[in-house]
Each structure stands twice: as structure tokens, then as C-alpha cells.
Amino acid sequence: DINMGCPTPKIVKKGDGAGLLKDRVRSEEIFREVVKSVSIPVSVKIRAGWDDDSIIAADYAKLAEDCGLAAVAIHGRTRCQFYQGLANWEYIKMAQDAVSIPVLGSGDLWTYQDAKRMIDQTGCAGLWVARGCLGNPWIVAQMDNYIKTGKPEPDFNNYEKISFMLEHLALMVEHSGERLAVLESRKHIGWCLKNMPNGEVVRSEVNTLKTYVEVSDRLKSYQETLLEV
């Protein structure tokens, strides 16, 4: 996956990320070289454009298709918007209408209702869920179910969310090793604890712990208090 959507100034300053939205020639070169160099499908993530005066979603989607890319993910905001205002889903629709390869819609996907609404409004082939997953990764399964059946799934209660976080932590240790997993898990645990009773206190404590056992035990002890709420 080629990232042409990152709006971070230090990335854009080097002409990378969303900075490539201002350089169609270089973007095409990258598309063609990557497709030529790998044997797996290639996709690209872009923003709707650099600003409101340079909307390039449909044009870049067509360029990507012509260069042999397998899919395009489009965030409905411009780079200059960063994460302000609303994502304009019409740009996603314009891109999907312009190409035959799958277009994945992104931007303001916070609920399973948002997911269904984007599919209905844009006709996009799929969704690219980003910030909506933070502290809420099960939203993907809820979205999928709602799109397919029209029936909402019940949300997890706080006790169940901690169980999920404990499983996530164990998998991170298995995948990345204890030290890195403990450090990386802090942000995920923090997002998960947001708006839970005493969640900020627990988050601060977890951020001082250094081993898997310490973090796991603290989450389990906190989980037990949720049974009393």
C-alpha cells in the first residue's frame, strides 16, 4: 500500500505523503515502479486533494487504475483540512464512478450507521476505517454485520472491553516481544479506557509499568471493580 494521504508537515515538506498530490508526474512514476517491482497487489491511499481548489480524487483514481493498481483508498478531506471539518464523501463517489477497480472510502466513519450510509451514498466497494477504530476496534465487525444484515450488534460493556484489551495485549507480546508490546499497548489501552470509570487513573498507572505481567494484572484488578459498577 502506497501512502499518499499523510498530512503531517514533516512528511509533506519532503514531498512525501499527501505532498505527492501536488506532483502527478512523480506519483505516476511511483505507481508504475512499485507495480513493476512486486508480485502482490498494490493499492494507494490518497486524500481528496491538496485543497478545495485542487480536488484530484477521481483523476488519481483513474491514474492508479491505468498504472495497474488494484485498489484506491480515498479520505474525503483535503490535505489542508488535516482532520478539521467534515469529509466530503462526494469525492469518493466521483472516484468510484470513474474507475472499475475498488475504491475504499475513508473519513468520518465513527459508527456502524456511518458505514452503511457511506456505502449507500458513494457506491464505494469498501471502507477504510481509521480513527473510528481507536479504542473501539470491534466497530469493524459491527459495521460489517450492519451493512450485510441491517441489524445492529450490541456494543460491549466495559468489562468485556477490558477482556478484549487483555487478549490484544497477549497477542502483541506474541507478535512483537514483551518490551515493545508493553510500550505500544499503552496508547491502545488509553483509548480503550477513555470514558470508563477511573479510566484516566488506570491509564496513568499502566503507563509506568514495564512488564506484561504487571500490565495484565493491573487491567484484571481494574476489571474486577467494573463488576461493582
Q: What is the 3-state secondary structure (H, E, C) of 28-70?
A: HHHHHHHHHHCCCCCEEEEECECCCCCECHHHHHHHHHHCCCC
Res 34 pLDDT > 60: yes
Residues above pLDDT 90, as percent of the chain = 94
Task: Read off the DSSP letter of residue 111.
Answer: S
Model pLDDT, residue 152: 84
pLDDT averaged over every residue in the chain: 96
Q: Whole-prediction pTM value?
A: 0.87
Model pLDDT, residue 156: 87
Nearby residues of 150 by Cβ (< 8 Å), 6 or more positions away: 116
Which CATH code, of 1.10.3860, 3.30.70, 1.10.1200, 1.10.10, is assigned to 158-226? Answer: 1.10.1200
Task: Read off the DSSP letter of residue 99.
Answer: -
Res 228 pLDDT > 80: no
- Where does the chain show beta strands of DSSP type E? 2-4, 43-47, 71-75, 103-106, 126-127
Model pLDDT, residue 154: 82
d(CA 44, CA 2): 4
Model pLDDT, residue 153: 80
Residues above pLDDT 70, as percent of the chain = 99
Q: Which of 6, 67, 80, 124 is catalytic?
A: 6
Q: If you average pLDDT over residues 40-44, what whole number do you get?
A: 98
d(CA 72, CA 125): 10
Query: Residue 19 in contact with residue 13, Cβ under 8 Å?
Result: yes
Res 52 pLDDT > 80: yes
Question: Which residues of the chain form CATH 3.20.20.70?
Answer: 2-149
**Is 133 marked active-site?**
no
Q: If you average pLDDT over residues 43-47, what whole number do you get?
A: 98
Residue 127 CB neighbour total at 10 angstroms: 24
Length of the chain: 229
Model pLDDT, residue 113: 95
Nearby residues of 191 by Cβ (< 8 Å), 6 or more positions away: 134, 135, 136
Q: Which residue has the cell 470508563?
A: 196
Model pLDDT, residue 229: 52
In words, the CATH class of domain 2-149 is: alpha beta
d(CA 77, CA 16): 17
**What pLDDT digit, counting tens, does each position of 109-158 carry?**
999 999 999 999 999 999 999 999 999 988 999 999 999 999 988 888 99
CA atoms within 13 A of residue 93's CA, in its CB half-sphere: 11
Res 227 pLDDT > 90: no
Question: Which residues of the chain form CATH 1.10.1200?
Answer: 158-226
Model pLDDT, residue 120: 97
Model pLDDT, residue 29: 98
pLDDT band at 87 (very low <50, low <70, confident <90, very high): very high
d(CA 190, CA 134): 9
Name the more confident of 152 and 182: 182
To the nearest 10°, report the CA torsion of 215, 221, 227, 229: -90
Res 77 pLDDT > 80: yes
